[in-house]
Chains A and B, each alone.
Chain A
Amino acid sequence: MAVFDSIHLFLQELIGAYYMQLIILVGINTIMATSLNLIIGYTGQLSIGHAAFMSLGAYCSALVTLHLGFPFLLSLLCGALFAAIFGVIIGIPTLKLKGDYLAIATLGFGEIVRIVCLNLEITGGAMGLRGIPKKTNFVWVLLAVLFTVFILNRIIKSRIGRALVAIREDETAADSMGINSTYYKILCFGVGAFFAGLGGGLLAHYIRFLHPKTFDFMKSIEQLCMVVLGGLGNIWGSFVGATILTVAPEMLRSVADLRLLIYGLVLILMMRLRPQGILGEQTRLAPFFSQKIRNLLQKRTRTNT
């Protein structure tokens, strides 16, 4: 672990603490967006309570660190598993619902989690939870992102992934093909919640302070924006979406008052001009870019001649 710290410090010397912080937040948001993408983009279940799973993971991992003195990796795992258990518990009744109804149910769940965190003694209630030791660093986040992307990628490419996509395309048809759609939906909810909890644990040990207000409805919407902006059903798209939506508000600090205006405008224009997201539903980044470059070259040669 000391090695991780020294790598982190070396890189921080190199690029500065501010950019380091941005990179770490991009990493955490990537975990959030990719895990939400599994639920929304691949399985087609509109969940708008993802921040609730994040807060469950964040509080759980922070509390086991504070009260039980767990090592970092173990507390992250505790947080992620805690969130996953709730993902399954919530999934069982709500995933029988479809579309708008599921969205409302997950929205309600998110509010319940927030209100419970606001009123429990152990979570610090309205005062927030403080004094969490700083353990998250660049290496941890990098490993967590790689782990998340790797596992999600394996799931998507496997039989499970095909089943999830089949459910998204047509649940009835999937059922008639012998896919147990309820089982797969709950599975994907559990996996999504697991990684959301992981992201929450990383955030808790990075900012060192937790407050229920941060994990509200707007946070869930922000994560939804990352997924949609990057491209539904595209892991790389979630990475791109998370990066843009984390970095853009920071970079726009210099225009102060216009910040939120520009931010909103970019979102609207994106949805108007490219509703399928920046990368769209393509599974690989490289073919996307090579295709674009080829198009550009073709155009160039056409105009030249």
Chain B
Amino acid sequence: MTKRNKKMFMLVGVFMCLAMLLAIAGCDSKKPANGEEGTVVKIGTVGPLTGGAANYGINVQRGVEIAVEEANASGELGDITLELISEDTGGDWSAAANAFTKLIEIDGVDVIVGAVLSSETQAGGPIAMEAKIPTISPSSTAKDLTKGNPYLFRNCLSDEVQAAQLAEYAVKELGLKKFAIFYTNNDYGVSLKDAFEAKARELAEVVAVEVFMDGDESFKPQLTKIKESNPDSLYIAGYYTEAAKIAQQAKEMGLNVQLLGADGLCNVAYIDIGGEAVEGTYATSGFYPDDPTPAVQNFVTAYKNKYGEEPDMFAAQAYDAAWIVINAIKSKGPNPEQIREGIAATKDFPGITGKTSIDEEGDTIKDVIILKVEGGKFTRVR
């Protein structure tokens, strides 16, 4: 009996702890929103801060944080202060729907920078539209994402644009003729593959299209097939971990091809893992951290000082997205509707990821940067 009592006590203890946490959470969220006074504009960010894609979400959050701090410190917005609220999705779209609703209903945000993954933005976009809260994603590249949603924008290269431009560059500048495409089976890989294949078929020849899964270790069966078709180049539509392993295994098998890729490869880890094998890779990117222009270098220094590491493309695009929002507040006003108009009117914004305009669909128009791996470093070739 006493043993049971002890157990019950501990159980009750656990529940009381949980209840207290819930109570704290409840108090926190019930603070009155003072956005109506016109002095505080709340910016929400949504993205994976935990789980497998946490890297992307954390970098996005940091990019936005730096932009918000800069804007608040500079006093450019007069009596308007920006407040940042970040929500985690764990990389799951139904959690993203919760995060969007929470930010809009409970925190009363005026604008959202997010979400990070395409599937998260797909789930959150309609919620933001219903609530008439403008949303700008810094990294969701899926096809037609912003179509039919006047409140949804994005600041990143769409998969179609970057794949098509690289195909054109490969044919016209590098003189490649026989392409093999190796893509990862998710929304990112599929839309890159579709766009690259269409453009490459138009200009030259596609001899092989193979598929892999995220997290695969061995790519030799597919690479063997690719080798048989005798291509002169291999376009890898995927992320850096798998791409680096593909490059290594291709080299081991004696498959000597020009490696091509998209922004998923543009991470130092691609070179760290791939080593010699990835030398000479051409990849499209939205950001080049060694760009000597002062705006880029200021951001890189601020980021390094604050977080102790070099910013990646996600952080840079998020930083630009946040500045697009800040400029919209400056030019049109602090209400969600005014911010929406401001974002939609963005034209030739001189961001650190290049000159950016927003088209009538809410999509981005910007230059595609092409990087090449040379001597164990990314260098800009266009």
Contact = CB atoms under 8 A, between A and B. Distances in A.
Nearest to A244: B18
B123 A207 contact: yes
Interface string A114-129: 0000110000011110
Interface string B180-200: 000001110111000000000
B269 interface: no
Contacts of B92: 213-214
A118 to B, nearest CB: 6
B10 A126 contact: no
A263 B142 CA distance: 32
Nearest to A261: B50
A21 B98 contact: yes
Interface in B125-170: 126, 131, 142-143
- Contact residues on A (Cβ < 8 Å of other chain), bracket: 35 or more
A16 B106 contact: yes
Interface string A253-264: 111110110100
B119 A211 contact: yes
A82 B28 CA distance: 44
Contact of B101 (A18, A128, A266, A274): A18
Chain A contact residues: over half helix, strand or loop, or mixed?
A: helix
B101 A21 contact: yes
Contacts of A207: 93-94, 97, 123
B7 interface: yes
A253 to B, nearest CB: 7
Contacts of A126: 185-187, 189-190
B14 A259 contact: no
Contacts of B7: 273-274
Contact of A260 (B50, B94, B106, B119): B50
A18 B87 CA distance: 14
Contacts of B95: 249
A254 to B, nearest CB: 4
A298 B86 CA distance: 48
Contacts of A269: 10, 14
Contact of A254 (B29, B122, B186): B29
A203 B93 CA distance: 12
A134 B10 CA distance: 44
Contacts of B102: 18, 250, 253
B67 to A, nearest CB: 20
- Contact residues on B (Cβ < 8 Å of other chain), bracket: 35 or more
A125 B183 CA distance: 14
Interface string B61-103: 0000000000000000000000000111010111101100110
A216 to B, nearest CB: 10
A25 interface: yes
Contacts of B191: 127
A17 B119 contact: no
Chain B contact residues: over half helix, strand or loop, or mixed?
A: helix
Contacts of A260: 50, 90
B58 to A, nearest CB: 11
A251 B25 contact: yes
Given A25-B98, A254-B28, A266 B190 contact: no
Contacts of B87: 253
Contact of A248 (B18, B29, B93, B106): B18
Contacts of B18: 248, 266
Contacts of B309: none
Given A126-B189, A127-B190, A207-B123, A262 B21 contact: yes
Given A134-B126, A256-B49, A127 B21 contact: no
B94 A203 contact: yes
Contact of A16 (B94, B105, B142, B189): B105
Nearest to B29: A254
Interface string A192-230: 000000000001000111010110000000000000000
Contacts of B254: none
Given A254-B25, A260-B50, A209 B123 contact: yes
B22 interface: yes
7 contacts: A209-B123, A211-B119, A213-B119, A214-B92, A248-B18, A256-B86, A257-B49
Interface of B: 7, 10-11, 14, 18, 21-22, 24-26, 28-29, 49-50, 86-88, 90, 92-95, 97-98, 101-102, 104-106, 119, 122-123, 126, 131, 142-143, 185-187, 189-191
